[in-house]
Amino acid sequence: MNQYILKISTLVLGLTIGVSSCEFGDTNVDPALPTDVSAAALLPSGQTAISWVIGGEVVRFSGLLTQQFRGINAQQQDNWRYLIRDADTDGMWQRMYHNSLNTVNAVIEKAEEQNATHYHGVAEVLMATGIGTFADAFGGVPYSTAFQGDEGLFTPSYDDQQTLYTNTIPQLLDGAIAKLGSEDSPGGSPGSDDLIFGGDLDLWLKAANSLKLRYTFQQGKRDQTAYDAALALVPSAISSNLEDYEMTFGALATEGNPQYWFGQRRAGNMRMDDYFVNAFSEDDTRKPFFVEGENGFEFDGYYTTINSPVVLMSYVEVKFIEAESHLQKATSDVAAAKVALDEAVAASFIKITGAPVPTAYQTELDAKWAAATDKLEVLIDEKYIACYSQSLIPWNDYRRTGYPTLEVIPNGVNAFNSNGEIPRRLPYPQEERLLNPNNIPTSTPNLQDRFWWDQ
């Protein structure tokens, strides 16, 4: 994998070396790379890096903990059994901050210098994507002082999850929406250098509004009014599969989807979990696109080819959020929830198979919905399949609703997971515990500790 670290010293987070295969000495700056480049030159690197970590380790942790994947060897087997050590998150933390958000922050700084309003807006969407993902995985994470390495601050403070949810992420996205909607960007606008939307600002606006929808909705467990607030955002969100906020690596000859590389270079560590395989009904034509081989996870399905997309936010997710919000709001609207659920399922079939929902499948879904005493379970069971391999969505849903009704893996009690239940969070990295001990919220988190929105 190519590393796109243009100025590692901007963010160190307690580390004294970079994470690429080349180490550059005490300065952490590659002398072969320019340190003063344009926002346009930085943008592809930031997009690639953030998509790599979300499509790679983020998806793997979510899939292992929600039994979409089964670890059968090495670290993945331990993780599947709820043994997740602090050292296990070092890599994803380094890749998100050093390779990804470091570069995205550099885009923001250069866009400000160059008065490139549209680049600034795009970068704020990317920043919200990364910070929001890590807030859902770890709870509180560095943001306010995270990018001050050039000022000598190498041990940043942590912003708590509530602040990130109610202040940081909305501010980033509202700022992005205003900038992306501006007609004035003297410093230029993204074009072919934008590997996600090719410079289409309308699609970036929809991505920003969709993320705002996600992080508003995700607060519903704490505050039921969040569901009505989420519904008000649906009209401005992604409105078709063609508008999905996703990164396709196929155009990058030396890259490729991270699940593809994991399967090719580290094959034999995971396969599809039996629970996920058995979640498909006989009439579900998506199954061959996800589940390859009689017993194995062969990494050649819809999301695991070299050209597969990494989904950062999708129309399918938007419609499931709409459906659940109708169902969970103070004045539940079951009929509207079913309409949105059907639209979500239809969009999933079209995206994955290119064909409509089979009549037999729709009939079966209608019958399950009508008979269900808890219609939320039906909805989440559908979303569990439809949002497979999409960031942390299945794990977020399980922690928020208790569905799907996963079977707890035996012998899951360990020093990090006291009661053997499905973990509620990831542990902070070992390097943060060792090198940023005065700021890390807890040096030995129990994986059952519930953070702010999971109360």
pTM, two decimals, is: 0.91
The three-class DSSP label of residue 271 is strand
Per residue in 271-299, is it b (16+ CB within 10 Å) or e — as a string?
bbbebbbebbeeebbbbebbbbeeeebeb
β-strand partners of 159: 141
Distance CA 342, CA 294 (A): 30
β-strand partners of 248: 309
**Contacts (Cβ under 8 Å, ≥6 apart) of 60:** 69, 76, 79, 262, 270
Cis peptide before 404 (omega within 30 of 0): yes
Q: How many CB atoms lie within 10 A of CB 114?
A: 17
Confidence of residue 266 (pLDDT cuts 50, 70, 90): low
pLDDT at 27: 30
Torsion region of 423: left, alpha or beta (phi above 0 gives left; psi -120 to 50 gives alpha): beta
Instruction: For residues 280-293, give the mean pLDDT.
Output: 89
Q: Check residue 423 and report its DSSP letter.
A: P
- Residue at token pair 């087997």: 77
Report the CATH fold assignment for 8-270+281-408+423-431: 1.25.40
Distances (CA, A) of 455 to 155, 395, 451: 29, 15, 7
Distance CA 126, CA 173 (A): 9
pLDDT at 13: 35
Distance CA 298, CA 295 (A): 9
- Give residue limits of the domains in the chain: 8-270+281-408+423-431
pLDDT at 37: 84
pLDDT in tens, 44-99: 999 999 999 999 999 999 999 999 999 888 899 999 999 999 999 999 999 999 99
Look at residue 317 and tell me whether its pLDDT is greater than 80: yes
Look at residue 206 and tell me whether its pLDDT is greater than 90: yes
Confidence of residue 264 (pLDDT cuts 50, 70, 90): low
Gyration radius of the chain over CA positions: 21
